[in-house]
Amino acid sequence: MTFRRFRILILLGVLAAAIGMTWLEQTLVRGWRAPLDVAVIPINGDGSEQAAGTIRALQASDFNDINVFLQRETARYGVKQQQAMLITLLPELDKKPPAPPHDGSVLKTIGWSLQLRWWVYQQSGQLLPQLGKIKLFVLYHAPQDGIALEHSLGLQKGLIGVVHAFADPKQAQQNNIVIAHELMHALGASDKYGFGGRPVYPQGYAEPDWPEHMPRQAAEIMAGRYVNAAGRVVMPPSLEQCVIGAQTAHEINVDAGFRQQYASSN
């Protein structure tokens, strides 16, 4: 066997192992047989003292309403367990994840995705990948009038979320909406909003059977906003006003088909 063929076989083996590990990881996480293993890693996103103070005061219980939301909503689709997820709050990280490309190039996005996954592996300090662990990197920023935060994101491959959040106790509950949204991306859910953040009808509405023009008071989690009585697109105050819609439930494997499969295996 020539060296070239040997090298090709090695590369194919590495690729097959990576595909196999991704499949195994998704099977473990999306099986809903045990609570999700979620790690929250805080980062000072702007170097401000306000962000530093917010991170120092953080506790794992600050994210409990995400667990309550997941438990309530997955139960509606037949998933019954004491806790939907187990959250570990890890120490503050002094490094920021690589920023995504701004031009939307497919090749650059693929390259950035691989770079991010490699960066996450480097931060783990583990020799072997942590299969099944969802890693949420939350970058805190001091609020500034008229300045919006960078776009948060979630990757299914690698089970990664990068969340930009406000370092303000008044924003804690809405921060958790964004964290839950990116967590759902890591589980395979797609966005359900369009231009200007407007929910896409009907899948982006909490009550998809109602006419589109009727005002809402709750949001589908992957839309993140609803249209109120004044016709404005607004973000709900907390996860209590958020739901997992039917399409999202299918994407994260808690729809009616899964419920039947789950029942038949017990």
The ranges assigned to domains in the chain are 35-188, 190-266
Q: In sequence order, what E strands does 177-220 have?
A: 219-220
Q: Residue 219 in contact with residue 180, Cβ under 8 Å? A: no
pTM of the model: 0.86
Q: Which residues contact 257 (CB under 8 A, 6 or more apart)?
A: 250
Helix (H) / strand (E) containing 218: none
Cross-strand bridge partners of residue 116: none
Q: Round to whole Å and give the CA distance between 260 and 176.
A: 31
> Which 8-state DSSP code applies to residue 221?
T
> Would you state the structure tokens that stand for residue 243, as one six-digit string?
């739901």
Contacts of 119 (CB under 8 A, 6+ apart): 97, 98
Give the per-residue pLDDT at 148.
82
Q: Which two tokens stand for residue 120?
A: 């996450």
Single-letter amino acid, residue 215:
P
pLDDT of residue 21: 53
Provide the CB-side half-sphere exposure for 228 (13 A, CA): 9
Could you give the CA distance from residue 241 to residue 180 in angstroms, rounded to a whole number? Answer: 13
Phi-psi region of 239 (alpha: psi -120 to 50; beta: other; left: phi over 0): alpha
pLDDT along the chain (266 residues), means of 10: 62 52 62 90 96 97 96 90 90 93 80 88 74 91 87 90 96 97 95 94 95 94 96 96 95 70 48
Whole-number pLDDT of residue 69:
97
Give the E-state strand segments of 79-236 in sequence order.
85-89, 133-141, 153-155, 160-166, 219-220, 226-227, 233-234
Full strand arrangement of the beta sheet holding 133-141: 85-89, 36-44, 133-141, 160-166, 153-155
> Given the structure tokens 């958790």, which residue do they identify?
176
Q: Which two tokens stand for residue 34?
A: 């045990």
**CA-CA distance, 31 to 48, in Å (whole number)?**
40
